[in-house]
Structure 1
Amino acid sequence: MDHLPAACSGCGRELGEYDSVGFERRQVRDIPLVTVVVTEHRAHRCRCACGTLTAEPVPATVAGSPSSYGPNLRALAVYLLVFQHIPVERTARLIADVTGAAVSTGWVASLLPEAESLVADSVNLIRALLVMGRILHADATTTRIGATRRWLHVACTESLTLLHLAARSRAGADTGGVLPHYRGVLVHDSLSLYADAPPAPINCAGPT
């Protein structure tokens, strides 16, 4: 957007774009208005001159209920749930407030099993790479699901991270599928559940 003086401050002559000899610039960054866009799919039934009625099936990507949500909105919901750790009810509210799509909490919650199946191969690859690594960090912390306190276990390197919910025990840590098979150097905070992890671990606990 060009902003030009209307007239010369000296003689008063009208000024325009061709009189410009330079400019000072500022850049404003913003995002476009986010609003849901509805695309209606109509599967028609056609009657031939011979009298036969032929129906075109609804595309598989939109089959099911009369109203559904597309891949971008579904990906946003999963991102808010999994990466940003926003509860289901607040995720539904955020999407409704920002995009105008009045999604239900049931719909939001239903996306997690679907997302899990889609990323299963990637998770298995991360698990295998962690097992093969030379140095591994393991830790556990608490989180809440509703009013329930749960334990979140992590196995990670500088570039890979695997998280899973399980009991605060060695058996719980093992359900992640990494520690039972790991034979490298394990770095941890001296929590008792790592005590028998082979081989001898590196204890990174500070002075007590």
Structure 2
Amino acid sequence: MAARVAALETENAALREKLKAPPKTPDNSGTPPSQGRKANGDGEPSPKARVHAGAHRPLHPNPTRHETVRAERCPHCRADLDNVAQVAVQTYDRIEIPEIAPDVTRVVLHGGVCPCCAGRFKAPAPAGLAPGSPFGPNLRAFVLYLRFGQAIPFERLARLMRDLFGLEISEGALANLLQDSAPAFAAQTGLIKRRLLSGTVLASDETSVRVGKKTFWTWVFHHADSACFVIRPSRGKAVVSEFLGDVRPAVWISDRLGGAQRGWASREHQVCLAHLLRDVQYAIDAGDAAFAPGMKHLLQRAVRIGHRRSALADATLATYHARLQRALDALLKIVPDSKPGLKLQRIIKRFRQNLFVFLTDREVSPTNNGSEQALRPCVIFREVTNGFRSEWGAALYANVRSVLETARRRGIPVLRAIRLTLDAAPLPTGP
């Protein structure tokens, strides 16, 4: 009985200690911003300190038509103005969209019996109007954009096509249309992946998604003007191994997730300083006043230097790197005065060689924010549609997302990128 009481007292003490810990928020942990709570403000919002100058919509660079209007009579005395010199005093655009209606081409192929050989014949289909799917490439691209770019579920998408275009397309027909487009997007994603793996830097991250009744993971691998997404039932290193094959980038950028995100770089690994700064903030909130504040200042200083890299010489960056390392040595000699501070210091000691890689390699980012930004549309898609019914749908989404994100980075309009993919043309990589 005494042992049981002692165990309960120990557990009770541990729980009481846990209650004293500060709450996890988006500012001091990996808690998503959507789960953060904002305090209620007092009174009315304060007015803007400075009122910005007025703005107007710029004129369209390529108007469809021009209307040049001359005044015929004076609005004051009604005098005839036909022979009076006039200049342009006001120019503006009137924007309208044409009536939306499907453009349907009825194809009738004639045939018969050859009088010479008695064989049956049929006229060949015109170019671009072969039998098969009744949906043309522009309509197909529009459906792909609405489904995967705007996260519109099948039922709403069918209703939208009927209400906006007067076009009846069942949910099954929409699914078949998407499935027929899968090979084209798989081929385009293969080209994007080949370009991505030819570089020296790679960043990655992942987020959960539901496929059928199981939890899968949406992974993104990206750098510069290319990004690839894959959806797999695992969060482990097997996914990265499958994606990379025999390729090993010189530098890897990621968070600090176990073995899945570490050990892939042939040279160096840059950990995300944004994630680390949130851990530092938690240690500060938990009461550490010895080690964490100095560490926060050091990391913020490093990020500010990283933002100015384009204006700094290589020798200057090397000097900054050496100074930061010396400052880090001094900080690590400090004994934190709280458990979260001690935990933070252990993390810093473990990853210190991965903190400032970006200072000596201009292609490396100090944070993994690019991965989180690339995954944001995937999170929105997950929340709106609740995931995928089938694995082929998840695989198609990953490939379409690869094309859309790569097109965004290369400055290619979304619908043009989809049309290029459907036409089996590679996405351009230059201006």
Alignment partner of 1:195 is 2:262: yes
Q: Structure 2 vs 1, CA of residues 147 and 46 (structure 1 numbering), >3 Å: closer, same or farther?
A: same
Give 1:48 shift: 6.3
Contact 1:45 1:56 in 2 (8 A): yes
Mapped to 1, the partners of 2:208 and 2:140 lie a distance apart of 28
Residues 1:120 and 2:173 are matched in the alignment: no
Q: What letter corresponds to residue 166 of structure 1 in structure 2?
A: R
Partner of 1:89: 155
1:59-112: per-residue Cα shift (whole Å, max 9, x none)? 3944247xx222211121122223333323333332222222211111221233
Report Cα offsets for 1:120-175 as digits up to 9, x if no partner.
Answer: 33322221222221111101123456886542110001200101111342246337
Q: Does residue 8 of structure 1 match 2:74? A: yes
Is 1:21 paired with 2:91? no
Letter in structure 1 aligned against 2:137: P
CA distance in 2, matches of 1:78, 1:104: 15
Q: Confirm or deny: 8 A CA contact 2:208 2:216 kept in the other structure.
A: yes
Task: Give yes or no for the alignment of 1:167 onto 2:233.
Answer: yes
Paired residue secondary structure (2:157): helix
Query: Please, what TM-score do these two structures have when normalized by structure 2?
Result: 0.42
Question: Contact (CA 8 Å) 1:151, 1:168: kept in 2 or not?
Answer: yes
Separation of aligned partners in 2, 1:92 and 1:58: 32
Q: Which runs of at least 4 in structure 1 moved beyond 6 Å after TM superposition?
A: 48-51
Shift of the alpha carbon at 1:55?
Answer: 3.7
Contact preservation (8 Å) 1:138, 1:188:
yes
Structure 2 residues not aligned, in runs of 5+: 1-66, 280-431
The range that moved more, 155-164 or 32-41, is: 32-41
Aligned to 1:206: 276
Considering Cα pairs closer than 8 Å and 6+ residues apart, tell me whether 1 or 2 has the greater RCO. Answer: 2
SS where residue 76 of structure 1 aligns? helix
Distance 1:48 1:115, change over 3 A: closer
Partners of 1:81 and 1:91 in 2: CA distance: 7
Instruction: Among all aligned residue pairs of Structure 1 and Structure 2, give the percentage whose two residues are the same amino acid.
Output: 25
Matched-pair contact (CA < 8 Å) for 2:217–2:235: no
Q: Is 2:222 the counterpart of 1:156?
A: yes
Contact 2:254 2:271 in 1 (8 A): yes
TM-score normalized by the length of structure 1? 0.79
Residues 138 and 180 of structure 1: is their aligned pair in 2 closer, same or farther, counting only changes over 3 Å?
A: farther
Q: Could you tell me whether the CA contact under 8 Å between 2:237 and 2:261 is conserved in 1? A: no
**Bigger proportion of residues as helix:** 2
> Would you say 1:184 and 2:250 are equivalent positions?
yes
CA distance in 1, matches of 2:155, 2:189: 27
* Structure 1 CA distance for aligned equivalents of residues 238 and 213 of structure 2: 20
* Aligned alpha-carbon RMSD (Å): 3.1
Stretches of structure 1 that go unaligned for 5 or more consecutive residues are: none
Structure with the largest fraction of strand: 1
- SS of 2:142's partner is helix
